[in-house]
Amino acid sequence: MTIAHLLEDFGMKMPVEPAGTFSEEVIEDAKLVSFEKGYTAGWDDAIDAKDKEVTRVSATLAGSLEDLSFTYHEAQTQLIDSLDPMFKVLTSVILPDTMAATFGHHIIDQLNDMAKGQINEPMEIVVAAGEGNAVRALLGDEPKVEARVREDANLSSGQAQLRVGKSERELNSEALIEAIRDSIDAFSYQFKEESNYG
């Protein structure tokens, strides 16, 4: 006696017919069923593989974007930190020196602008004590402007008051530099706050 009755049969149970008794139709149906099962299994495997690939690519892309975002913010923070000393030098040394060197020319430009349409009106420039001669020297080079220049001890260096007829204008280079300094400080502060909490 054989031991076949003790082992499980994993084969397909098909009615056993003699080899010659299968009809052509049954064989074709069996082939078609077999093909459909194989095709469906292959399709399911392909969809699973595609879903896994999409998930992997999405995770990789998300990680890369996160790294890129971190790198961008890190670079931006380093840039602002490195620019901060330059801004301080700009507002404490370069801008004041530049304003002092060009203040007289700025006065003349503003006076010319104010005089448009008011050519016959009296013009007056009031500057800080000790700055009158420098402004008079510039007026000598400017044939279009005939203005009275006087000094006022209440004004500080970099301040001027211009009058043409009834129009008045005040120039204050120190206030302008202070406003630029405040704007730069506010920008740096806001950026650092956003970097820390945003």
Interval 93-114: pLDDT, tens: 888 888 888 888 888 888 888 8
The whole-angstrom distance between residue 154's C-alpha and the CA centroid of its chain comes to 44
Are 161 and 39 contacting, i.e. CB atoms less than 8 angstroms apart?
no
Mind giving me the DSSP string for 41-106?
Answer: HHHHHHHHHHHHHHHHHHHHHHHHHHHHHHHHHHHHHHHHHHHHHHHHHIIIIIHHHHHHHHHHHH
Q: Is 13 helix (H, G, I), strand (E, B) or coil?
A: coil
- Average the pLDDT over each of 27-31, 119-123, 158-162 and give the range with the smallest value: 119-123
Q: HSE (CB half, 13 Å, CA atoms) of 49?
A: 6
- At 60-102, the pLDDT tens digits run 888 888 777 677 777 777 788 888 888 888 888 888 888 888 8
Percent of the chain clearing pLDDT 70 (strictly above):
88
The phi and psi torsions of 7 (rounded to 5 degrees) equal: -100, 145
Q: Cα dihedral angle (135, 138, 140, 141), rounded to 10 degrees?
A: -170
For range 40-63, the mean pLDDT: 89
Are 158 and 151 contacting, i.e. CB atoms less than 8 angstroms apart?
no
pLDDT of residue 59: 87
pLDDT at 148 over 80: yes
pLDDT of residue 198: 55
pLDDT of residue 11: 67
For range 139-162, the mean pLDDT: 82
Are 159 and 171 contacting, i.e. CB atoms less than 8 angstroms apart?
yes
For range 20-24, the mean pLDDT: 72
Q: Is 22 helix (H, G, I), strand (E, B) or coil?
A: coil
pLDDT of residue 151: 92
pTM listed for this prediction: 0.52
Question: Could you tell me the CA-to-CA distances from 180 to 8, 59, 96, 107, 160 in Å, in that order?
Answer: 90, 45, 11, 20, 19
- Average the pLDDT over each of 33-37, 59-63, 125-129, 144-148 and give the range with the smallest value: 144-148
> Where in the chain are the domains?
60-197
pLDDT of residue 24: 85
pLDDT of residue 144: 60
For residue 181, count other CB atoms closer than 10 A to its CB: 16
Q: What is the DSSP letter of 155?
A: S
pLDDT tier for residue 18 given thresholds of 50, 70 and 90: low
Q: What is the DSSP letter of 121?
A: S
Higher pLDDT, 145 or 53: 53
